[in-house]
Structure 1
Amino acid sequence: MHIYFLQHHASLGPARLEDWLDGMGHSHNVCHLGEAPPRLADCDALILLDGPQAEDAPELARERKLVERALKSGKPVLGIGLGARLIARALGATVSRGTYPEVGWYPLTLAPESPFDLPEHCEVLLWQSRIFGLPEDALPLGGTPAGPIQGFAWDAGRVIALQCHLESTAQSAAAMLALSPTAFAPATAPSTYLQAPEAVLAEPRRFDRQAALLDRLLAQWLRA
């Protein structure tokens, strides 16, 4: 398969996703924000990466149209962070600022009806201040202490939206965390769900454990 990444910031790249696709024999390209989005005819699947923009930002107008076409196309679509919110918005779900921003490692509990091939309880890396509701006909991933909906699957798993950053490596997480002061401004109040960058990066094995979760999810996604 040939996959196109839609990248919204230089510091928020494919990270481990690229390695996984290479290892499984899939080809891929990256379309950066400001470039003309790819034609659906030129790819077999889309991966929408995270970014510091709001999902209704004017510079994302062409991408929003592409997402709407991709959802109707029958091709696999995966969104992370901003990418997930663009999918949720296109499917009619409400997207808004969350009560608490979540930055750091938090326990994720799978929803009882979750279709995801993941452990019932696992630890995931979060970097988000905006949330979305569950679109019609979507099945939820599960929730964290501050976020009841951390993702969903739609159309039998062909479309997946994730708030958590299973693709992160220690290097990509450090670059992502460096954007937090601007990505989450203006802060409404101090949050108990904001971990310091040094705490997030202190245990490299956490990223290795996430890699196993990513493997399982991506295999499930492309099978669908």
Structure 2
Amino acid sequence: MHLHLLQHSPHQGPARLADWLSSMGHSHTVFHLAAGELPPRLADCDALVLLDGPAGPLDPADQPWLKRERRLVEHALDSHKPLLGIGYGARLIAEALGAVVARGRCAEVGWHRVTLAAESPLDLPEQFEAFMWHRDVFALPEDAVTLGGSEASPLQGFSWDGGRVIGLLCHLEATPESVAALLEHGPRPDGHADSPHAQPDEALLADPQRFVKLAPLLDRLLSQWLRPLAA
């Protein structure tokens, strides 16, 4: 199958997600919206991924691609195609489903424990550690199911339409390279210096095993998400 990946920032790419797709024999195209590329046609892909991107309000004045992307998200929600959003992408999906998207009470940066909700349809461990890089959050959309939460963010993700649509606040796709790029190029989430849930920069790359443990979690998530297409 072929997937379209929408990238909103030059330093927030697909990371391990691209490696997983290639290893499973799937092709993909990355559209660099911040570089002026237009969002693709939904008809040209089997599934759509919205990657992370700029912090702050979803403002089309600052993000000229946003109006077209919003229309694409609406078409994807109305279709039968799998749709996955991570960080900024999850905020766009939540907004399109009518949920409130706003600034959270504090920044969440680094490695934090996520507790899976009892009602979550995803087959993931009851507790796992994931990488965080955000201040903005979203409410649970109507008819969506919570995936679980962390201490700072009770809603770390949701599924909608029987798991066809997934939004994730946390990052299971993170790699040492992708985190190093954030530290080098990306501004820290607003309020990170005063947040009790923001770890110092040196702690984010200190333990390589944390990234190793993310890989099977991403595999389980993506396999479940794309399973209907493989049936």
1:5 aligns with 2:5: yes
1:31 aligns with 2:31: yes
**Aligned pairs, number:** 222
CA gap of 1:201–1:183, structure 2 versus 1, over 3 A, is: closer
Aligned to 1:15: 15
Aligned CA-pair RMSD:
1.4
Measured in 1, the distance between the counterparts of 2:192 and 2:217 equals 33
- Which secondary structure does the structure 2 equivalent of 1:78 belong to? strand
Aligned partners of 1:48 and 1:78 also within 8 Å = yes
Bigger drift between 48-57 and 139-148 goes to 48-57
Aligned to 2:170: 164
Measured in 2, the distance between the counterparts of 1:183 and 1:36 equals 27
Cα deviation, residue 177, structure 1: 3.1
Candidates 199, 202, 219, aligned match of 1:198: 202
Aligned partners of 1:55 and 1:85 also within 8 Å = no
Candidates 114, 117, 120, aligned match of 1:114: 120
Aligned to 2:47: 45
Aligned to 1:141: 147
Aligned partners of 2:50 and 2:90 also within 8 Å = yes
Measured in 1, the distance between the counterparts of 2:48 and 2:183 equals 25
Cα deviation, residue 216, structure 1: 0.2
Candidates 172, 183, 186, aligned match of 1:177: 183
CA gap of 1:144–1:3, structure 2 versus 1, over 3 A, is: same
Cα deviation, residue 55, structure 1: 5.3
Displaced runs of 4 or more, over 6 A: none
Cα deviation, residue 176, structure 1: 1.9
Residue identity in the other structure for 2:23: G
Cα deviation, residue 178, structure 1: 3.4
Residue identity in the other structure for 2:73: V
Aligned partners of 1:55 and 1:82 also within 8 Å = no
Measured in 1, the distance between the counterparts of 2:192 and 2:200 equals 18
Instruction: Give unmatched runs, 5+ long, in structure 1.
Output: none
Q: What TM-score results when the alignment is normalised by the length of structure 2? A: 0.92
- Which secondary structure does the structure 1 equivalent of 2:37 belong to? coil
Measured in 1, the distance between the counterparts of 2:183 and 2:195 equals 16
Aligned to 1:101: 107
- Which secondary structure does the structure 1 equivalent of 2:99 belong to? coil
- Which secondary structure does the structure 2 equivalent of 1:177 belong to? helix
Aligned partners of 2:7 and 2:31 also within 8 Å = yes
1:123 aligns with 2:129: yes
Bigger drift between 193-202 and 47-56 goes to 47-56
Aligned partners of 1:111 and 1:143 also within 8 Å = yes
CA gap of 1:83–1:24, structure 2 versus 1, over 3 A, is: same
Q: What TM-score results when the alignment is normalised by the length of structure 1? A: 0.95
Measured in 1, the distance between the counterparts of 2:168 and 2:193 equals 25
Cα deviation, residue 69, structure 1: 0.7
1:151 aligns with 2:157: yes
Residue identity in the other structure for 1:178: E
Aligned to 1:223: 227
